Amino acid sequence: MPIAFPADTAPARTKPSNYPEPFASRMAGRVKRPLGDLFGLKNFGVNLTRLEPGAVSALHHVHSRQDEFIYVIEGRPTLVVGAEEMQLAPGMVAGFPSGRAPHHLENRTADDCVVLEIGDRSPDDAVSYPTEDIQAVMDDDRKWRFAHKDGSLYR
């Protein structure tokens, strides 16, 4: 493998979303290219994420342990943090400390948006989604398990 390469030549994830339905379908138009894994990084993940017009980066969510950070490369995605919204532009950054405000991006424009996303891999992470009937817990194999808010698992 070369010691460096253009981020947009990395392969896209074969499975577009880990969410169960009906949430997975809402991630249409989102393409994630994992970058850190290609270099053997273990402690954090880096994705190059493209959002087509109308696409969102994720459900509105907040992690219990994982910190997250984004850098806008292209386009003008709208960042939603708690009840606040801001339209971003290339060169802008935002960070999301664990356990604070839920957040996600939406592409409300007619052009693609491209964002670099970073998130660490702290053990025992969980994700809550204040606006949806879903919760996520990372199991011992670092795979996400999704449940309804009453605890019953999605199938």
Using rule CB under 8 A, residue 112 touches its own copies:
no
Site pattern 23..52 for its own copies (x: CB under 8 A): ------------xx-xxxxxxx-x-x----
Please tell me the distance from the alpha carbon of residue 57 to that of residue 75, in angstroms, as a whole number. Answer: 14
For residue 55, give every residue at least 6 positions away whose Cβ sits within 8 Å of its Cβ, in sequence order, or none.
Answer: 27, 28, 29, 30, 106, 107
DSSP class of residue 153 equals B
CB 55 within 8 A of CB 30: yes
CB of 108 to its own copies, least distance (A): 15
The CA–CA distances, whole Å, from 57 to 4, 106, 150 equal 26, 6, 25
4 touches its own copies by CB under 8 A: yes
Figure out which of the listed residues 21, 25, 54, 93 binds its own copies, where binding follows CB under 8 A.
Answer: 93
Binding to its own copies in span 113-142, by CB under 8 A? 116, 118, 120, 122
Give the contact letters, 70-89, x = binds to its own copies (CB under 8 A), - = no. -x-x-----x-x--x-x-xx
d(CA 122, CA 129): 19
Rounded to the nearest whole angstrom, what is the least distance from the CB of residue 127 to its own copies in the complex?
Answer: 15
CA dihedral 58→59→63→67, nearest 10 degrees, is 30
Q: Which residues bind its own copies (CB under 8 A)?
A: 2-8, 10, 35-36, 38-44, 46, 48, 65-67, 69, 71, 73, 79, 81, 84, 86, 88-89, 91-98, 100, 116, 118, 120, 122
